[in-house]
């Protein structure tokens, strides 16, 4: 099967599916290679220079790209920058932008209208703009002071999978470089590790348990919560199941009323510290709800914690793919959605 894709400059590209039935699954499997290519593209960039006088950072994106910004925002906050993360559709530029302020817009396509509008506003005020995109010739790049290309290659499925992982990788890698200027990554080991991880994932039992549900709550803390924002978008987008990511400590402030003996809650605790979600899990189980723990996928992984969100999201991407298959849905083309949203 070959899908025809109209790119922004109206040429038609065709990419072969190879042995895969759908692009979404193929693209999840392409993640390690995409990360390797991305690394090769950014390993010589002088990030210390780009960030030298920067004090404030605003991250901007839509959908999945916004969700990767949430991770960047969290990591860069740890480095001491004043950070804020904005939805491009809600971006309101201040009256002036200081020289020490870097705006980072993330967009797979580089054609998302809300991002273009935000970029235009930033450049009108002569703000510094870093663009992270998959498309080197996209409209968004024309506004850029700096461009970082995620080398995820063409993403055909509407759902962003390998691109999200590359975007998170870029943020985590820059975070490491800014923390230690002599930082070196062994990219071959790194990508092999992710490849083995994907090959050995067994998510079948979870797919069976959730595929007939009509709502799913996802709970986590800290950076895990941010991963769940993306995980829940993926399940909503591909499986048409209503999903709600909740910061675990917030359950008792309202959402607990949704829990009954039919509820299934997905819990992510990448720190492997059982105490972290204990209260929330007790709250759910004592109301008859069932908790499916995702840390089982992350056991015995020796990776820097800043890269963990890449590992954490992949089981959710896989699950959303296989639930779509169980439901007889086309995971590559979810209803009502387009790959690139070129209207505001």
Two tokens, residue 15: 């990419």
Stretch that binds ligand M6R, among 57-65, 74-82, 95-103, 145-153 (CB under 6 A): 57-65
- Distance, in Å, from the CA atom of 137 to the CA atom of 260, rounded to the nearest integer, reads 51
Phi and psi angles of residue 86, each rounded to the nearest 5 degrees, phi first: -125, 140
Q: Are 321 and 28 in contact (CB under 8 A)?
A: yes
Place of tokens 């960030």: 51
Cβ neighbours, 10 Å, residue 249 = 13
Regarding 62 and contact with ligand M6R (CB under 6 A), the answer is yes
Number of helical (H) and strand (E) elements in the chain, helices listed first: 11, 11
- Distance, in Å, from the CA atom of 331 to the CA atom of 23, rounded to the nearest integer, reads 8
Q: Which helix (H) or strand (E) holds 211?
A: none
Dihedral sign (CA 243, 211, 25, 247): positive
Regarding 333 and contact with ligand M6R (CB under 6 A), the answer is no
Nearer to ligand M6R, 190 or 321 (CB): 321
Q: Are 191 and 32 in contact (CB under 8 A)?
A: yes
In the shown chain, the binding pattern of residues 265 to 304 toward ligand M6R, with x for contact by CB under 6 A and - for none, equals ----------------------------------------
Regarding 27 and contact with ligand M6R (CB under 6 A), the answer is no
C-alpha 241, offset from chain centre? 19
Q: Which of residues 141-170 bind ligand M6R (CB under 6 A)?
A: 158-160
Classify strands 2-6 and 290-293 as parallel, antiparallel or unpaired. unpaired
Regarding 243 and contact with ligand M6R (CB under 6 A), the answer is no
Regarding 73 and contact with ligand M6R (CB under 6 A), the answer is no
Nearer to ligand M6R, 35 or 177 (CB): 35
CB of 136 vs ligand M6R, minimal distance in Å: 14
For 120, residues 6+ apart whose C-beta sits below 8 A from its C-beta are 143
Nearer to ligand M6R, 160 or 271 (CB): 160
Regarding 139 and contact with ligand M6R (CB under 6 A), the answer is no
Two tokens, residue 31: 């993640």
* Cross-strand pairs, 323: none
Regarding 237 and contact with ligand M6R (CB under 6 A), the answer is yes
Nearer to ligand M6R, 57 or 69 (CB): 69
Using alpha carbons only, what angle is made at residue 189 by residues 187 and 191, rounded to the nearest 5 degrees?
65
Regarding 227 and contact with ligand M6R (CB under 6 A), the answer is no
Nearer to ligand M6R, 11 or 199 (CB): 11
Dihedral sign (CA 5, 34, 73, 267): positive
Q: Which residue is nearest to ligand M6R (CB)?
A: 63
Regarding 64 and contact with ligand M6R (CB under 6 A), the answer is yes
CB of 183 vs ligand M6R, minimal distance in Å: 27
Stretch that binds ligand M6R, among 34-42, 61-69, 179-187, 276-284 (CB under 6 A): 61-69
In the shown chain, the binding pattern of residues 99 to 138 toward ligand M6R, with x for contact by CB under 6 A and - for none, equals --------xxx--x--x-----------------------
Nearer to ligand M6R, 42 or 251 (CB): 42
Q: Which residues bind ligand M6R (CB under 6 A)?
A: 62-65, 107-109, 112, 115, 158-160, 237, 340-341
């Amino acid at each position: 099967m070959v899908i025809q894709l109209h790119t922004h400059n109206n040429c038609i590209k065709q990419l072969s599916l190879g042995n895969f039935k759908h692009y979404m699954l193929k693209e999840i499997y392409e993640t390690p290679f995409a990360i390797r290519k991305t690394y090769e593209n950014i390993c010589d960039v002088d990030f210390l220079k780009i960030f030298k006088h920067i004090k404030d950072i605003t991250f901007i994106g839509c959908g999945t790209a916004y969700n990767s910004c949430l991770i960047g925002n969290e990591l860069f906050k740890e480095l001491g920058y004043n950070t804020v993360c904005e939805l491009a559709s809600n971006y309101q530029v201040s009256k002036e932008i200081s020289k020490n302020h870097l705006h980072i817009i993330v967009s797979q396509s580089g054609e998302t209208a809300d991002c273009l509008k935000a970029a235009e506003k930033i450049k009108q005020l002569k703000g510094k703009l870093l663009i992270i995109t998959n498309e080197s010739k996209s409209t968004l790049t024309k506004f850029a002071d700096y461009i970082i290309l995620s080398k995820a290659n063409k993403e055909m499925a509407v759902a962003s999978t390998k691109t999200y992982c590359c975007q998170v990788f870029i943020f985590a890698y820059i975070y490491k470089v800014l923390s230690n200027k002599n930082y070196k990554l062994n990219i071959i080991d790194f990508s092999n590790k992710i490849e083995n991880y994907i090959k050995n994932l067994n998510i079948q039992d979870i797919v069976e348990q959730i595929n007939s549900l009509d709502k799913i709550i996802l709970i986590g803390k800290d950076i895990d919560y941010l991963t769940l924002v993306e995980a829940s978008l993926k399940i909503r987008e591909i499986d048409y199941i209503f999903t709600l990511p909740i910061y675990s400590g917030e359950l008792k402030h309202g959402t607990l009323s949704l829990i009954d003996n039919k509820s299934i809650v997905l819990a992510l605790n990448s720190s492997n510290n059982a105490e972290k979600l204990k209260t929330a899990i007790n709250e759910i189980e004592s109301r008859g709800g069932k908790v499916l723990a995702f840390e089982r996928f992350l056991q015995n992984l020796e990776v820097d914690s800043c890269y963990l969100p890449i590992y954490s999201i992949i089981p959710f991407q896989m699950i959303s793919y296989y639930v779509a298959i169980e439901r007889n849905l086309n995971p590559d083309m979810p209803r009502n959605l387009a790959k690139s949203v070129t209207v505001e």
